[in-house]
Amino acid sequence: MAKIHELSENLSNQIAAGEVIERPASVVKELVENSIDAGASRIRVDFVDSGLKQIVVQDNGSGIAKDQIDLAFTRHATSKINNEHDLFNVATLGFRGEALASIAAVAHIEILTNTANGIGSRAVFSGGSKLTQEDGASAQGTKITVKDLFFNTPARLKYLRSPRTEMVKIVDIINRIALGYPQIALTLSNKGKVLLRTPGNGKLPQTVATVYGRHIAEKMVAIKNDDSDFQVAGLISKPELTRSTRNFISILLNGRYIRNFKLATAVMDGYGSKLTAKHYPIAIISIKVDPLLVDVNVHPTKQEVRLSKEKELGRLITSAVSAALIDKGQEIDALANLEQPKDTLVDQLQFNLNKNVVNTKREVEPVPEVHESAPAFSESNTTNHYVDLTKPRSDSRYVITPTWRENVQKQIALTPFNQTKSQTEVISAGDATLANNLPELTFVGQTDLYLLAQSKGDLFLVDQVAARRRLAFERIKKAMNATKITQQGLLTPIVLEFGNLDFLQIKDKLAEFKKIGIYLENFGQDSFIVRSYPTWIKGDTEESLRLILADYLDQAKTDFSHLFNDIAAKQAKKEVSGRIKLSAGEASELLADLRQCLDPYRDAEGHLTLVKLSQTDLRKMFKKDE
């Protein structure tokens, strides 16, 4: 049996670092939280190579006395709690006393600090050991430089994501801290290039504007509610402004960003039926609560907490969101979202058009019985239980049939699919029976809402709005996929501002947007400038561009073929806003054009463009067969 022994201090620190310091963003979080606990009103963060090469955090807080620097880098040494009672009454972000020791165990650290009435001090730590300490000129506050993170634990680097992902995580954690502390002026930069700068004036809407962009801040609604235990305040987006993930819901408990599924759900419950499926609001929910009701000593990163009266808090948040939306004329009405199933009429139309309806039910093959008396494997029956994957078989347990190689050669010899169709709308197998089956229609008249047409005695009712949107959709898609997309110059260029995360996300995909004629130039300070636009965009150019980019940001998984279809569909809907009076010639031309569409039976959103009443249907309606 192995002998029990006490671990060395250096090894203990590395183990603790594994729990607290998961990635560069963890270092940034711990150091910035220390600055906040030190009473800083200005904090600056700069990093290089996603934080792996260098992270610098500088503040104007209270600083550390030179005779306490060694203690600050010792595990379980803290100024924030003194006894067991304090552990359940934590009013600061940090309290474990592990952050500095954990970071020093896996990196090179230089600290330059000064208190209000003292002489500045400079100290250097590496791999958990102190190298030097000396006096150094410094303004009040603390500046910590972390270099070569995980230099002595290279295995840790294997579990990090791409440099870009690690950078985004740093930006995300600073964004949430900024939203929780609008009274602190925060600056975040990458190699000196500013990614975020908050005013630090205590006004949350202005902080939201710097984090998410001014156009989002303008669509936020203030909420406020309280009871004997909790005070809830913050900002929520209007129902029309959503994202595809919950990541934009920030729950801040006594200034600490936490992850809590139930509280995030309570926010969405406040919207009622105003949120469609898989759409989530942007929300900053600040909760003030007596620290005695919160146990933050649950997880090393302190992002998960145990909360008393969680159900009561959830109800308080839900009522606050509902009240705010009602006050702003966003009443919640579930009845407005009720709709008829969309598939019924389509299925009927598909059945009517399909002349050769066959039974596609597959016969169920009997499953052979397995008898316990037959061993699963033995040396005597090895060949009966293992199939040679390279040898054709003709029995029911075949893997490769006798004609398999012949079929493969036939497939290889086939002409490739028409490449010009790869850029057009993809029609599903279910829609294939509808497409290209529309007969030639003769216009006979129109009502206020529908065109009437006939073909061989059958009557067709055509929704002219849906039909015109289908034509507009296909025209826009064709323009998007053109080899050379026509551009319209702008007399006054448009500047589009974004939050830092949205800016970085769009910046990575500029080449994709160029494919459809949208040219975005980096204008600095998280903004793009647009000097021309594709002519397939109609109406307000700036509004259209913002909606297009918002659609991209809302994609949970970036599928640009699906995104471009969605953009074309929305542009078509915007272009064809309602019914117009058509002449007989215009109506006939519309019917002829509709017949050339990929799917003439519905618009890009799935709404039917026409319905058919056959001669048999009409005879039954008038009871001619009775």
**Shortest CA distance to 324 belongs to which of 203, 225, 247, 241?**
225
Residue 394: what pLDDT? 54
pLDDT category at 378 given cuts 50, 70, 90 is very low
Do 218 and 309 share a domain, yes or no?
A: yes
Do 32 and 174 share a domain, yes or no?
A: yes
Say yes or no to pLDDT of 58 above 70: yes
Within a domain: 263 = yes
Residue 524: what pLDDT? 83
Within a domain: 399 = no
Within a domain: 178 = yes
Tens digits of residue pLDDT in 507-522: 888 988 998 999 999 9
Do 29 and 122 share a domain, yes or no?
A: yes
**Shortest CA distance to 94 belongs to which of 155, 32, 21, 12?**
32
Do 234 and 142 share a domain, yes or no?
A: no
Q: Which residues of 254-283 are buried (b: 16+ CB within 10 A; e: fewer)?
A: bbbbbebeebbebbbbbbbebbeeebbbbb
Task: Check if the beta carbon of residue 103 is closer than 8 Å to that of residue 112.
Answer: no
Task: Check if the beta carbon of residue 569 is closer than 8 Å to that of residue 604.
Answer: yes
Query: In which element (H, E) is residue 316 found?
Result: helix 310-327
Residue 532: CB atoms within 10 Å = 16
Which letter does DSSP use for residue 526 in this model? S
CA–CA gap between residue 181 and residue 252 (Å, rounded): 10
Do 170 and 222 share a domain, yes or no?
A: no
Residue 154: what pLDDT? 83
Instruction: Give the pair of three-digit tokens for residue 257.
Output: 């960003």
pLDDT category at 358 given cuts 50, 70, 90 is very low
399's torsion region: left (phi>0), alpha (psi -120 to 50) or beta?
alpha
Within a domain: 420 = no
Do 14 and 137 share a domain, yes or no?
A: yes
Do 27 and 91 share a domain, yes or no?
A: yes
Within a domain: 381 = no
| pLDDT mean across residues, the chain | 79
Which stretch, 243-257, 291-305, 550-564, has highest mean pLDDT?
243-257
Min mean pLDDT across 153-157, 360-364, 459-463, 494-498 is at: 360-364
Within a domain: 385 = no
Domain boundary among 308, 326, 344: 326
At position 374, the amino acid (one-letter code) is: A
Min mean pLDDT across 450-464, 527-541, 554-568 is at: 554-568
DSSP for 346-359?
HHHHHHHH-S----
Say yes or no to pLDDT of 97 above 70: no
Say yes or no to pLDDT of 117 above 80: no
Do 235 and 181 share a domain, yes or no?
A: no
Domain boundary among 197, 218, 241: 197
pTM beyond 0.85: no
Do 136 and 255 share a domain, yes or no?
A: no
pLDDT category at 180 given cuts 50, 70, 90 is very high
Residue 84: what pLDDT? 57
Helix (H), strand (E) counts: the chain: 21, 24
Task: Give strand pairing partners of 407.
Answer: none
Say yes or no to pLDDT of 429 above 70: no
Q: 101 vs 66, 69, 126, CA distance in Å? A: 17, 11, 10
Within a domain: 377 = no
CA–CA gap between residue 207 and residue 250 (Å, rounded): 14
Residue 356: what pLDDT? 44
Do 52 and 135 share a domain, yes or no?
A: yes
Say yes or no to pLDDT of 330 above 70: no
Min mean pLDDT across 173-187, 383-397, 541-555 is at: 383-397
Say yes or no to pLDDT of 597 above 60: yes
CA–CA gap between residue 152 and residue 13 (Å, rounded): 12
pLDDT category at 357 given cuts 50, 70, 90 is very low
Domain boundary among 326, 356, 374: 326
Question: What CATH number should be reported for the domain holding residue 584?
Answer: 3.30.1370.100
Choice between 374 and 242, residue whose per-residue pLDDT is larger: 242
Task: Check if the beta carbon of residue 465 is closer than 8 Å to that of residue 578.
Answer: yes
At position 422, the amino acid (one-letter code) is: S
**Shortest CA distance to 507 belongs to which of 520, 492, 490?**
520
Choice between 612 and 75, residue whose per-residue pLDDT is larger: 612
Within a domain: 23 = yes
Q: Cα–chain-centroid distance for residue 278?
A: 10
Residue 59: what pLDDT? 95
Q: 476 vs 55, 141, 569, CA distance in Å? A: 48, 58, 9
Sort 511 into a burial class: Cβ within 10 Å, 0-12 / 13-18 / 19+: exposed
Question: What CATH number should be reported for the domain holding residue 93?
Answer: 3.30.565.10
Do 15 and 145 share a domain, yes or no?
A: yes
Do 557 and 582 share a domain, yes or no?
A: yes
Question: Quick one: average pLDDT of 346-351?
Answer: 46
Pairing between strand 230-237 and 283-289?
Answer: antiparallel
Question: Quick one: average pLDDT of 275-281?
Answer: 82
Tens digits of residue pLDDT in 212-226: 988 899 989 999 999
Residue 295: what pLDDT? 73
Choice between 317 and 84, residue whose per-residue pLDDT is larger: 317
Task: Check if the beta carbon of residue 286 is closer than 8 Å to that of residue 233.
Answer: yes
Tens digits of residue pLDDT in 11-23: 565 555 555 688 9
Number of structural domains the chain divides into:
3
At position 58, the amino acid (one-letter code) is: Q
Min mean pLDDT across 157-161, 389-393, 435-439, 590-594 is at: 389-393
CA–CA gap between residue 244 and residue 267 (Å, rounded): 15
Say yes or no to pLDDT of 373 above 70: no
pLDDT category at 336 given cuts 50, 70, 90 is very low
E strand residue ranges, 93-192: 108-114, 121-126, 129-135, 141-147, 185-190
3 state SS of 327:
helix
Domain span at residue 601 reads 442-611
Instruction: Give the pair of three-digit tokens for residue 40.
Output: 């800083």
Residue 298: what pLDDT? 58
**Shortest CA distance to 194 belongs to which of 503, 521, 550?**
503
User: Is the sign of the CA dihedral 126, 128, 131, 133 positive or negative?
Assistant: positive
At position 328, the amino acid (one-letter code) is: K
Residue 257: φ, ψ to 5°: -70, 125
3 state SS of 194:
strand
